[in-house]
């Protein structure tokens, strides 16, 4: 079972990701492809320095195939210029961001009702063989889209892509629509249907502990459990970066060395000395996490 650290804008810098020991996968926060293609300084947020045992993903936002093409070209140049960043495992397309600005320009959760477009963007990103490709989805843009079950059309489209290309490795589903606040309860009701598609799923939303994962798996029909590739945790990691090690200890009996708050803070500061995050990360981590 993979345990992913969620993409967390202005939080999941290299130092934070490395602090989250035991996470199998981690992501940069969402990066605008328009910025990455047009502005050289936007690449500072691509801080994929080595992290042992963690697969690192870049998360991107776009609605244009031409931008995907230009981005892949620039990524190659960037890696040549900074070979120490050559630790990228995959590229994840954001089809979930609820930001009104992003939705207005047709990106993030606005793409959920456009399966052909999402399929084309994914196919464009798959026109290289070095990086895996994944997507992060929500259940819909709003309640109406959830009731219309638009997500199922997108699942059908993505299922075709998985059949043809093994580099399309996962679909993360955040079990909320884009108008729901972070405090509303999660909607797990559609999960049994989602897992019946032949898609490797990463389930996200409200998961904090091993017991949560166990309950989640037990709620799914045994014959469909094979499609659950992993889970993703965001806010639990902001509270306690050791949550991954704790989960692994329960799953696999791997040894776990508990760090108290002071030890975590000290380790974070040491990591920042190795690769200093931008000021906005330090400020957001101070304000929004318990580190």
Ligand X SMILES: Cc1cc2nc3c(=O)[nH]c(=O)nc-3n(C[C@H](O)[C@H](O)[C@H](O)COP(=O)(O)O)c2cc1C
Of 30 and 88, the one with the shorter C-beta distance to ligand X is 30
Q: Are 138 and 109 spatial neighbours (Cβ–Cβ below 8 Å)? A: yes
* Footprint (CB under 6 A) of ligand X, residues 18-37: 29-30
Neighbours of 75 (CB within 10 A): 21
Of 7 and 22, the one with the shorter C-beta distance to ligand X is 7
Read off the tokens for 151.
Answer: 């997500």
Read off the tokens for 101.
Answer: 């600005």
- Strand 168-177 to strand 201-204: parallel, antiparallel, or no bridges (unpaired)? parallel
Burial of 279 (0-12, 13-18, 19+ CB in 10 A): exposed
Of 29 and 230, the one with the shorter C-beta distance to ligand X is 29
Of 97 and 146, the one with the shorter C-beta distance to ligand X is 97
Kindly state the smallest distance separating residue 163's Cβ from ligand X, in Å: 25
Kindly state the smallest distance separating residue 61's Cβ from ligand X, in Å: 8
Kindly state the smallest distance separating residue 150's Cβ from ligand X, in Å: 18
What is the DSSP-derived secondary structure letter of residue 11? T
Residues 6+ apart with CB under 8 A from 123: 161
Binding segment for ligand X (CB under 6 A), chosen from 2-10, 147-155, 188-196, 216-224, is 2-10
* Footprint (CB under 6 A) of ligand X, residues 125-144: 136
- For 76-105, letters b (16+ CB in 10 Å) and e give eebbeeeeebebbbbbbbbbbbbbeebbee
Sequence length of the chain is 291
Binding segment for ligand X (CB under 6 A), chosen from 41-49, 150-158, 200-208, 249-257, is 200-208
Across the chain, how many H-helices and E-strands are there?
13, 8
Kindly state the smallest distance separating residue 77's Cβ from ligand X, in Å: 24
Of 97 and 191, the one with the shorter C-beta distance to ligand X is 97
At residue 50, φ and ψ (nearest 5 deg) are -60, 140
Of 8 and 111, the one with the shorter C-beta distance to ligand X is 8
Kindly state the smallest distance separating residue 83's Cβ from ligand X, in Å: 26
Tell me the residue ranges of DSSP E strands in the chain. 2-5, 25-32, 55-61, 88-95, 132-140, 168-177, 201-204, 228-233
* Footprint (CB under 6 A) of ligand X, residues 219-278: 233-236
Does 11 bind ligand X (CB under 6 A)? Our answer is: yes
Of 225 and 288, the one with the shorter C-beta distance to ligand X is 288
Kindly state the smallest distance separating residue 28's Cβ from ligand X, in Å: 8
Question: Which of 9, 65, 212, 267 is close enough to bind ligand X by CB under 6 A?
Answer: 9
Question: Which of 18, 114, 174, 229 is close enough to bind ligand X by CB under 6 A?
Answer: 174
Residues that bind ligand X (CB under 6 A): 6-9, 11, 29-30, 59, 94, 96-97, 136, 174, 204-207, 233-236, 288
């Amino acid at each position: 079972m993979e345990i992913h650290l969620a993409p967390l804008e202005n939080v999941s810098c290299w130092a934070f990701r490395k602090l989250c020991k035991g996470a199998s996968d981690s992501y940069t926060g969402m990066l605008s492809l328009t910025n990455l293609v047009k502005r050289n300084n936007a690449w500072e947020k691509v801080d994929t320095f080595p992290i042992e045992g963690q697969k690192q993903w870049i998360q991107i936002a776009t609605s244009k195939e031409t931008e995907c093409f230009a981005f892949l070209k620039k990524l190659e140049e960037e890696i040549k210029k900074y070979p120490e960043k050559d630790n990228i495992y995959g590229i994840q397309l954001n089809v979930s961001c609820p930001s009104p600005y992003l939705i207005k320009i047709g990106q993030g959760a606005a793409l959920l009702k456009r399966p052909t477009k999402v399929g084309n963007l994914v196919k464009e990103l798959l026109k290289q063989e070095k990086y895996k490709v994944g997507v992060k989805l929500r259940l819909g843009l709003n309640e109406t889209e959830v009731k219309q079950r638009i997500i199922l059309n997108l699942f059908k489209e993505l299922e075709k892509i998985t059949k043809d290309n093994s580099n399309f490795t996962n679909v993360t589903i955040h079990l909320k629509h884009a108008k729901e606040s972070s405090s509303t309860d999660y909607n797990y009701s559609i999960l049994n249907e989602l897992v019946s598609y032949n898609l490797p799923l990463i389930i996200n939303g409200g998961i904090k502990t091993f017991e949560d994962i166990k309950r989640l798996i037990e709620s799914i029909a045994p014959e469909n459990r094979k499609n659950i590739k992993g889970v993703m945790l965001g806010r639990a990691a902001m509270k306690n970066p050791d949550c991954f090690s704790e989960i692994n200890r329960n799953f696999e009996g791997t040894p776990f060395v508990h760090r108290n708050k002071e030890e975590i803070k000290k380790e974070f500061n040491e990591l920042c000395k190795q690769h200093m995050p931008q000021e906005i990360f330090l400020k957001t981590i101070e304000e929004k996490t318990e580190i």
